[in-house]
Structure 1
């Protein structure tokens, strides 16, 4: 079974480790509509195509139609559950639910926030009990697993023309994250990118350094120049055994050509040169070059980011949602920083990717939705261009745009280094969904132990990954029986 053939929801609370500094919150009258029979939106999307002579701008008009009522309707209630997210996201989606009443007066969207950590168990129990919501917004890793039990609704089976209209708005690689067995199961609002690094713009400008870096060697040269211990180290990288920290290393290894499994999914391949090089890079940054503050194995994502925003380091490594921490009130700064995908080695030994990604707020319909056509119209309303604009920094920070129209109106200054690539259609080329397959959660826990053994000098990177290979293979063999 290929690694991407069967995704499994294994993403824990993506904001785990933020500490107390951030709290992620969470009769049958007949109505006559007075609105026109349909709202036809024309979105002009400009994408830049680089030629040898000049940059040409291609203009594409995307037309989408959402039908509004002109005949009497019995009142309809749609239950929507939102799993996880930051306060600004909750406010926006809750506001969309309220605004929908103005578009379809006979429809009431009941919005409720649900716990991210227990979402899988909660949704499964509610589906089996017949009490699940009509629509939800959550991550996409669980789509194949819930499709297998008949819980998620293929959107083409509700209205193929409507889905085709929406698909045109997204980058193909992004749409692939909501596609399973040829059917579409959700509408993304943004993607989280793993792995990325952030840099303090004034610090690097003062040192004459201009990211993004081409490869690890290019980055290391800059880090050695920036390193001024003990007052300021060059970079912080979270290396605890927390989930986010393990995912960060996993993203670096994948960008260097590493993969967890062979093509058929039967063999663990975690001790290949691509993985060994990535772990050796970690070890050298800590022990040889000493460009990371002491005690990295006890510094989780939040602590590592805190070092960056308190100017104890010039760069930090994390995920694309670092700006969300600032908006949520975890940090207060008055200086500029930017983000870019983490580079690979100069000569990657395996197939490289620019990054891994996952849309963690995707609108999905349950197969038990009582009125599927109305549920789909609500979902489409929620991803209108003016709504998706909110996730491009207009209301919600730290969310990577996933459509050309979002990138055109991006207000996340931290993403400016990526904007040109996005508008040229190059940013997502080669990007893949986060690895999700049966056993991945257990394997990632083992990876956390292995990479710390190498960082602490208990084993060489090759020895640590050889041990991980044996343990991980036993897990996969057990699951495949």
Structure 2
């Protein structure tokens, strides 16, 4: 999920600095489970979703409904963008001023765990309740069997494609990268008769940032190479200097450099630009999460019903990121039972589907996969992609690997580049090994 700039949202009263300082305190903390006490409990939630629309509005509506059913509970939100969330958590944890509930992800949960800032949700929520979720999603949200955050939504990377154009050309969803290339070439064409292409097969996100890096990593892994992994001896190693990694990079950049199935200006094409290309009919395929569906349709409502999804094509195997986002309960919270009760309410089937239908990201309960809205062509590929999702490496410097791979494809995509895939991956492996060496110190 890409989350935007900082805003602060409050349902009843704005959070002030003094409120943050006493965020884990209730007006009366002996109320026990929600609804059992007569005195009021204040539950503070630091939410990244509050910085988004319509997600923040839907989350507020759910909280308002909960408070109506539990008049002794008052919920207050603090909106912090995902770009600033990790830093904010670190500051508040160091100052012992954590809110009751806060946004967390697999990429950051080890850092928070080392701060002793999270409560084990396995005990609070119960084993039977957790059986409702995809087992690999719960595993991805846990450390040593202790659930660090309840996984609320998942935005697995998959292939979004124009189903109407595929059907018109007699094409099927690409299973392999060879299928993908053939489809991209057939869909790159001159539609207005001026002798120049005005429709391209693939809207590649070629910027050197996390947005671009997270889309290339599943491609890399689909070729059988991993940016960083543990070997049989439990030591961190990288596959970036292997033939499979070089093949992945060569193929990916050749889509632009050799085959010409990517619109011009690829190194400046970020997610907003790529989504607009599909919305305007300039491109037919895009690698992204399900949130992109809403972005595209909001720009061009005529695209509703024309967008399909499928797992990212394979060389050796399909691959996807989990893209999990959820909530942790602070270890210092005095309202843990109330917080757990609210989180169960937030993730109940009705609310989970309501949030998905309004925003795009998938629910994380296995039983909801058969819901009509998730079995439709636009979402079905994302649901299927979840079974191919890989666990994020737990190396503390993992976020830097996005830049490592992004630098590699950017240097090859540059119009005047004379760098080879072999040279680019040797440099990438060198950078990766520097991080691995630091990890061991």
Instruction: Tell whether the structures are fold-level matches, with TM greater than 0.5.
Output: yes
CA contact (8 A) 2:199 2:282 kept: yes
Does 2:302 match 1:333?
yes
Shift of 1:383: 1.3
* 8 Å contact from structure 2 (residues 204, 262) kept in 1: yes
Does structure 2 conserve the Cα–Cα contact (< 8 Å) formed by 1:83 and 1:138?
no
Moved over 6 A (4+): 22-26
Determine if contact 1:171/1:428 at 8 Å carries over to the other structure: no
Q: Distance in 2 between matches of 1:102 and 1:414?
A: 37
Match of 1:358 in 2: 323
Contact 1:97 1:110 in 2 (8 A): no
Name the counterpart of 1:163. 126
Instruction: Assess, with a 3 A threshold, how the Cα gap between structure 1 residues 274 and 400 changes in structure 2: closer, same or farther.
Output: farther
Unaligned segments of structure 1, at least 5 residues: 1-12, 17-21, 34-65
| 1:223 corresponding residue in structure 2 | 184
1:477 aligns with 2:437: yes
What are the superposed Cα offsets for residues 133-161 of structure 1, whole Å, 9 maximum, x if unpaired? Answer: 1012343321121111100111234x3xx
Retained in 2: the 8 A contact 1:358–1:434?
no
Gap change, CA 1:355 and 1:379, over 3 Å in 2 = same
2:211 is aligned, of 244, 251, 266, to 244
Rounded to whole Å, the distance in 1 between the matches of 2:66 and 2:221 is: 41
Cα 1:224–1:197 change in 2 (3 A) is: same
Write out per-residue CA displacement over residues 414-470 of structure 1, whole angstroms, 9 at most, x where no aligned residue.
534338xx5xxx753342234452222333223222222223342111221012111
Q: Is 1:288 paired with 2:258?
A: yes
For 1:15 and 1:271, locate their aligned partners in 2 and report how far apart those are by CA, in whole Å.
Answer: 33
* Deviation, structure 1 residue 128: 2.4
Higher share in helix? 2
What secondary structure sits across from 1:370 in the alignment? coil
| C-alpha displacement of 1:244 | 0.5
TM-score with structure 1 setting the length? 0.78
Give the distance between the partners of 1:231 and 1:101, measured in 2 at CA: 53
Match of 2:164 among 186, 192, 202: 202
Return the structure number with greater strand share: 1
Q: Which residue of 1 aligns with 2:12?
A: none
From 344, 362, 370, the counterpart of 1:380: 344
Paired residue secondary structure (1:236): coil
Residue 432 of structure 1 pairs with residue 416 of structure 2: no
Matched residue of 1:189: which SS?
strand
- Contact 1:190/1:401 (<8 A) preserved: yes
Please tell me the root mean square deviation across aligned C-alpha atoms, in Å.
2.7
Once residues 243 and 168 of structure 1 are traced to their aligned partners in structure 2, the CA distance between those partners, rounded to angstroms, is: 32
- Residues 1:467 and 2:436 aligned together: no
Query: SS in structure 1 opposite 2:286?
Result: strand
Q: Distance in 2 between matches of 1:309 and 1:303?
A: 10
* Alignment CA distance shift 1:135-1:416 (3 Å): closer
The CA distance in 2 between the partners of 1:261 and 1:334, in whole Å, is 38
Structure 2: gaps (5+ residues): 10-25, 191-196
Q: Hey, what does 1:322 align to over in structure 2?
A: 292
In 2, Cα distance between equivalents of 1:332 and 1:436: 40
* Counterpart Cα distance in 1 of 2:260 and 2:246: 19
Write out per-residue CA displacement over residues 346-373 of structure 1, whole angstroms, 9 at most, x where no aligned residue.
xx2xxx453121212x121011111211
Name which of 370, 373, 389 aligns with 1:408.
370
Retained in 1: the 8 A contact 2:27–2:41?
Answer: no
